[in-house]
Structure 1
Amino acid sequence: MPWHSALKRLSGACLLASVTLLAHAADKGAPPTAVKPVTDRYGALAVTDPYRWLEKAGTPEVQRWSAAQDARTRGYLDQLPARQPMADWLMKQAAASSSAYYDLKAAGGQLFALYNQPPKQQPMLAVMGQDAEPAKARIVLDPNALNAKGTTAIDWYVPSPTGKLVAVSMSENGSEDGSLHIVDVTTGREVDAVIPNVQYPTGGGSVAWREDGSGFWYTRYPGADAPAERRHFYEQVYYHRIGDDPAKDAYVLGQDFPRVAEIALDARPGTAGVIVAVANGDGGEFAHYLIGKDGRTTQITRFEDKVVAAALGPDALYLISRQGAPRGKLLKLPLGDLTLAKAQTLVPESEAALEPGGEFGAANITVTKTAIYLREIIGGPSRVAIYGHDGTQRGQLPLPDVATVDEVEALDDGSLLVAVKTYLEPARFVRFDEASGQAAPTALRQTSPLAFDDVEVVREFATSKDGTRVPLNIVRKKGTKLDGSHPLLLNGYGGYGVSMVPRFLGAATRLWLDGGGIFVVANLRGGGEFGETWHTQGSLTNKQNVFDDFAASARYLVDKGYTAPARMAAIGGSNGGLLMGATFTQHPDLFRAVVSTVGIYDMLRVELDPNGAFNVTEFGSVKNPAQLKALYAYSPYHHVKSGAKYPAIFMATGETDGRVNPMHSRKMIARLQAATGSGRPVLLSINAHAGHGMGSSLSIRVNQQADIYAFLFDQLGMAYKPAQ
């Protein structure tokens, strides 16, 4: 009998059962886990939680339990013959890959970039000329030199318009709990006081410089001295002048923002000031303000206006609006009168979606002296459309099929650097010349020791439960026979309006393909692949559509002869971890093995965590009766059934995760280990030096990949055949 019904006759707001039981796991070999039932009431609904005690991370009891689980998982993984060879091979490929440059920012006639140079543990900050010649680049800031353990990471950076200084947020152990450092670009030395509490996973963080480089606007949280209920909420905007005491920085904006406000700042040289984009949590509502050069603040849009992005041009403000246009339209608002009602529709809604992306959309609108470049997405792949300032269509940037662009950086010479990504080629930047309309390769490209010439990507469509067509990006070796024999790994996400776009698949996928596997990415509802309607059909009380889409995708792949249930695995992380949990609790027989990382599983207690409160606009709240009904209906933790034949499960989490509380993984694993009737392992890996994945060192990332693929190869009976 499920725990949520076994004791539902109990009443009261929160009742602790008087008996503590020591439950021996149905998953043989798993450590025994104490059962200490607690019952909560949500109106007339009584819900019993057998493992509430596992939420208390700092207690010796939970620490002992976590250590026992991790030791059990290491005992399973480390004895697999392929596991260490996989780790060695993956590290060898990482070390043999070329340096990668990304997150480009032009300033002061220079080009800044984050710079990844395997086998170094963390990306660095580099600067070069706008000729984009990496051979001339030099390092401005190297976190690896600051911390030999590789656990200090750059969260983000913003150079001053003059290019003389750069503001860098850094954090430890994957926590994303960032402090701001001001670095002299020439010497690499810090030149100002460190400003704490500028970045956290709840609302992120941001900086916008004054045009002369004398100071900057930045985001700040109440900090460690504030009460716990405020510490990672109430993000606000402050102004700092170089050389001043940060404790005396001037408050600018935010006291009337929602508790779950997420703020992004955007300043562009030669424009009228700073755009402040404010998200109302994670559900897709935005408001926008302009901080003028005189320091005065003007509100331009409100949450109900459905404007999801804003960018300043030399003479106008450009806005992506979903008001009456769920796929998005581009508005133009002259700076002389910032009344939204007077905005002109410059680019009407089309079959392509204009998504926020980047820093709440600013990254997807690039305005130059002669044109406007808009990133558009159609079901997963993206393109860059070109328009005149009057809205005249001028074509598109030349791109490969099934590609994506997530960076368009305008340079001083009238050209743009465009990041092009596909599933089968490493990321590269091309230079697009506005005057000639020609694109040319640059030396800013990553190379891989592995080739994918024998591999192809095809797009097919599954049909979901309600008839919706769901795109599938199928990565397979050329000549693959559809005889149902292939191991197949299905990946999905489906949330927050985040689109699953093409990305170079790299060494781990090469390893999978060479083992005879097929890799598939599903573009599920909840994402932004077809605009806001696609997102809302998979959010709040519509979340079940996401799980139906994923199940339909799996069944399609079986029906078409790609694989069979006994040969199929699923993988997802974070919101994709919720997808994994909901799928295998609703359809235990659909997959042979499931990998779920940093996942969300107890949907009735998500909003009690700091970042969970930000998710209410995406998932809903137990305080809303209709949303409570939906949350409870799919909450994976509450639908684990004793004796069900669950797939083999591998979960991974990090103890410093500020986005998803690791307690979700602890409780879900305990419940599954007690319930499963399949005889297959249910494993949990817990890393003390990792968080949600951002800022993890190279060695942590490589070893987790080795754990995942060794587990999958073992469970699906695959032979390890690494490419040479």
Structure 2
Amino acid sequence: MKKIKTLIGTAMLAASLTACDNKPKETNMEDPYLWLEEVEGKESLAWVEDRNTETYARLKEDSRFNGFMERSLEVYNAKDKIAYGSIRGDKVYNVWRDSKNTRGLWRMIDLEEYNAGKDTWETILDFDKLAADEKENWVYKGRDCYSETGRCLIRLSRGGTDAIVVREFDMKTKSFVEGGFSSPESKQYLAWYDQDTLMIATDFGPETMNDSGYPRQVRLWKRGTELSTAEMIFEAPKTDTFSFPTASRRHDGTYVGVLHGPSFFTREFNVMVEGKLTKLAISEHAELTGYMGDTMILSMRKDWIVGSKTAKAGTLVSVKVSDAAADTVENSLATVYAPAEGASIDGTSIGKDRILVNVLDNVKGKIIALHMKEAEWISSDINLPANGTVSILSNDDSTDEGFLGYDSFLQPDTVYHINAAGETKAIKSLPARFDARDLVTEQKFTTSKDGTKVPYFVVRHKDTKMDGKTPTLQYGYGGFEISIKPGYLGGLNMQWIENGGAYVVANIRGGGEYGPSWHQSVLKENRQGAFDDFIAVSEALINSGLTSPKHLAVRGGSNGGLLMGAMITQRPDLYNGVICAVPLLDMLRYHKLLAGASWMGEYGNPDIPEERAYIEKYSPYQNLDSAKDYPEVFFYTSTKDDRVHPGHARKMAAKMFGMDKPVLYYENTEGGHAAASNLKQRAFSDALQLVYLMQKLQD
């Protein structure tokens, strides 16, 4: 990975470097810890090594550490895991990881044999062997296949970063194509234009990446030519968020084009019409779900009024591509599905003649099927268990065969095969990983500061005494319209429950649990509402008698790490432990670090005075107060996280050290934004966190 350019001048950097002891020395600079933003700087990495050594001495040397790690690995590497697959025609494809295949095997099996539970998998590509042969720390990041030729674009990352290399692979020969398409390492996107041409958005050189570090140009790259000679078909302003190629290749039509995001939550749709890239007359607040014949299927984030018609926020709508290209949208704009009050669309997948929609109803899932009948969309419920989380695992657009999933906090995953007629049959179930007979799950609601009703789930032992002594771990996220749903407990959460703890998931605003409005209500200047929701859940847990501040810890990562930062600085009295993972914390500089500029639609722009004014009120890094008492915080991140800059966690930890506040810090030297690139690293992280929680809440 290329080192990021230092963000301060050489003289300032030299002046700010401090001894890497437990308390970095203060200087007269506005930010004395800015030097920690140099990701792979010698001094920065020395500081990280010292912090890791301290954390290992405290957590790794605990007598429980090895047992916790082995228990997680037992689950992650289990031979009886479900091999989740994607259907393409009569084949099922899967990437399998276990103790032997830590990087994974890409393999395939006949659909009939998969449904019958047979183990007749055929290996296509062994990523462990590839990494060993090439002496590279390859992490598989996905593929894009051209089904007619059996050629695939394989995405590979060094150490789990978002930056990837892309190489053409032939499924028939099970080998990379000699002289085939191969793009250099970059944050990049590719799609097949035709079998001999790619659409590619990558780093083409100076000024071709935007302020967020993503490509701003899309070019046509013909087989056998140099990448530098590729024809540019689209270029976005440097300040815009993203631009990437798209391709839909179905039995009933092919559409290729460019999806452009002026901001994180707005879209412009461009489709090739008669060889010309044409901007479609589609609302910037629509999300493209896909195509069905000559029709686009869109999910609306805000109301879209076109003449006498209105496409409501939170609904699924359709419009003919030809009308969108000719700016005659009103001719064909129609509602496909509108969820009832209290429900929201959580996912959509388009098959051959059917659309599957994942619906959340008060954070509990169901799946409906939509068919066109006599020019109207007809919905029908799919037969799956209730009161849990459902998912569309795979939906083949050539056959309408698919796989659906169901699980809950206490019920293991089950995979259902759904046929073209909509009939479902359970074909695979995960064995129970823990004894759930004495456990219960409750969904509760509490009232936030502004009167909003906020749902949360509690998983606990059924005989829990409401005496305020139950060790409790509360989790939250609250951002980017991402819904946090019940899922079978594993790894850290499973062991926490096994060791007598209670686990809580707070469905705070900022997520998508109740549709776009649930997210949009706490954007930018209203961000405090998400923090207030999380605080309200914590207070409800304490007032119910389940736990008390002495026995309550909280955990969150990425945007959830920002949430944790707000809990540290705003309500330190509520918690005795905080796990803050791959976090955003310096919100006055987040937009200058890695992909941060792309999130200004969520948080605001600190360079605009009126927006800076509300951001600095909650920005955790700036709101630390040496006069306050804080719970001990466990920060963890990754050196290879090229999405959320590790400088956030480094600087916050260093500043707290400098204030003599209790801090633990761990930084994995690889792993990307997930902070773990394989199952062993994930189990290692589980064990560190579990020991920390046991020490804080139970010992």
The answer for the alignment partner of 2:143 in structure 1 is 157
Aligned-residue offset at 1:421: 3.7
Distance 1:151 1:429 in 2: 32
What is the aligned counterpart of 1:693 among 674, 690, 694? 674
The answer for the alignment partner of 2:629 in structure 1 is 645
**What amino acid is aligned across from residue 330 of structure 2 in structure 1?**
A
What is the aligned counterpart of 2:289 among 292, 295, 310? 310
Q: Please give the per-residue CA displacement for 1:535-572, whole angstroms capped at 9, x wherever unaligned.
A: 11122111111111111110111111211110010000
1:170-189 map, 5 Å = 170-189=156-175
The answer for the alignment partner of 1:4 in structure 2 is none
Note if 1:85 corresponds to 2:76. no
Distance 2:322 2:41 in 1: 59
2:477·2:559 contact (CA, 8 Å) conserved in 1? Answer: yes
What is the aligned counterpart of 1:347 among 322, 337, 345? 337
Distance 1:110 1:20 in 2: 58
The answer for the alignment partner of 2:688 in structure 1 is 707
1:17·1:37 contact (CA, 8 Å) conserved in 2? Answer: no
Q: Please give the per-residue CA displacement for 1:451-488, whole angstroms capped at 9, x wherever unaligned.
A: 43443322111211111111112122333333322100
Distance 2:487 2:58 in 1: 31
Distance 2:205 2:694 in 1: 45
The answer for the alignment partner of 1:12 in structure 2 is none
What is the aligned counterpart of 1:540 among 524, 541, 544? 524
Aligned-residue offset at 1:583: 0.8
Aligned-residue offset at 1:196: 2.4
Note if 1:333 corresponds to 2:309. no
Distance 1:113 1:352 in 2: 35
Q: Please give the per-residue CA displacement for 1:66-125, whole angstroms capped at 9, x wherever unaligned.
A: 221121111111221211221122223322253443472525x42323333345322332
Q: Please give the per-residue CA displacement for 1:389-445, whole angstroms capped at 9, x wherever unaligned.
A: 22122234424312131434126554322233432344343111232x4210224x5
Distance 1:586 1:190 in 2: 53
The answer for the alignment partner of 1:33 in structure 2 is 24
**What amino acid is aligned across from residue 708 of structure 1 in structure 2?**
Q
The answer for the alignment partner of 1:193 in structure 2 is 180
Q: The residue matched to 1:111 in structure 2 has which SS? A: strand
Larger mean CA deviation between 267-276 and 499-508 belongs to: 267-276
Note if 1:380 corresponds to 2:360. no
Q: The residue matched to 1:470 in structure 2 has which SS? A: strand
The answer for the alignment partner of 2:308 in structure 1 is none
Q: The residue matched to 2:157 in structure 1 has which SS? A: strand
1:38-49 map, 5 Å = 38=29, 48-49=30-31
Aligned-residue offset at 1:188: 1.7
**What amino acid is aligned across from residue 278 of structure 2 in structure 1?**
T
**What amino acid is aligned across from residue 253 of structure 2 in structure 1?**
A
Larger mean CA deviation between 701-710 and 259-268 belongs to: 259-268
Note if 1:269 corresponds to 2:260. no
Distance 2:330 2:393 in 1: 30
The answer for the alignment partner of 2:483 in structure 1 is 499
Q: Please give the per-residue CA displacement for 1:326-380, whole angstroms capped at 9, x wherever unaligned.
A: 65222222344334333122334532655576xxxxxx232432x3222222343
1:418·1:432 contact (CA, 8 Å) conserved in 2? Answer: yes
Q: Please give the per-residue CA displacement for 1:131-157, whole angstroms capped at 9, x wherever unaligned.
A: 361623222122111224894111111
Q: Please give the per-residue CA displacement for 1:171-196, whole angstroms capped at 9, x wherever unaligned.
A: 11121211112211133200153532
Q: The residue matched to 1:34 in structure 2 has which SS? A: coil
Distance 1:291 1:252 in 2: 10
The answer for the alignment partner of 2:424 in structure 1 is 439
2:468·2:547 contact (CA, 8 Å) conserved in 1? Answer: yes
Kindly, what percent of the aligned residue pairs are identical? Answer: 23
The answer for the alignment partner of 2:218 in structure 1 is 237
Q: 1:266 to 1:676 in 2, by over 3 A?
A: farther
What is the aligned counterpart of 2:299 among 306, 320, 331? 320
**What amino acid is aligned across from residue 220 of structure 1 in structure 2?**
A
Distance 1:178 1:22 in 2: 34
Give structure 1 stretches of 5+ with no counterpart.
Answer: 1-14, 25-29, 39-47, 358-363, 719-724
1:354·1:374 contact (CA, 8 Å) conserved in 2? Answer: no
What is the aligned counterpart of 2:459 among 464, 469, 475? 475
Aligned-residue offset at 1:528: 1.0
The answer for the alignment partner of 1:220 in structure 2 is 201
Q: 1:86 to 1:52 in 2, by over 3 A?
A: same
The answer for the alignment partner of 1:551 in structure 2 is 535
**What amino acid is aligned across from residue 82 of structure 1 in structure 2?**
R
Q: 1:629 to 1:119 in 2, by over 3 A?
A: farther
1:493·1:524 contact (CA, 8 Å) conserved in 2? Answer: yes
Q: 1:675 to 1:410 in 2, by over 3 A?
A: same
1:197·1:223 contact (CA, 8 Å) conserved in 2? Answer: no
2:167·2:183 contact (CA, 8 Å) conserved in 1? Answer: no
Q: 1:209 to 1:112 in 2, by over 3 A?
A: farther
Q: Please give the per-residue CA displacement for 1:280-303, whole angstroms capped at 9, x wherever unaligned.
A: 3764222223235x543332245x
Note if 1:463 corresponds to 2:447. yes
Note if 1:74 corresponds to 2:56. yes
Q: The residue matched to 2:167 in structure 1 has which SS? A: strand
1:600-679 map, 5 Å = 600-676=584-660
The answer for the alignment partner of 2:80 in structure 1 is 98
Distance 1:666 1:699 in 2: 24
Distance 1:695 1:188 in 2: 28
Q: The residue matched to 1:33 in structure 2 has which SS? A: coil
Distance 2:249 2:614 in 1: 43
Q: The residue matched to 2:377 in structure 1 has which SS? A: coil
Q: 1:411 to 1:245 in 2, by over 3 A?
A: same
The answer for the alignment partner of 1:591 in structure 2 is 575
Q: Report the count of equivalent residues.
A: 670
Q: 1:512 to 1:157 in 2, by over 3 A?
A: same
Note if 1:568 corresponds to 2:552. yes
Q: Please give the per-residue CA displacement for 1:634-653, whole angstroms capped at 9, x wherever unaligned.
A: 00001111132211111111
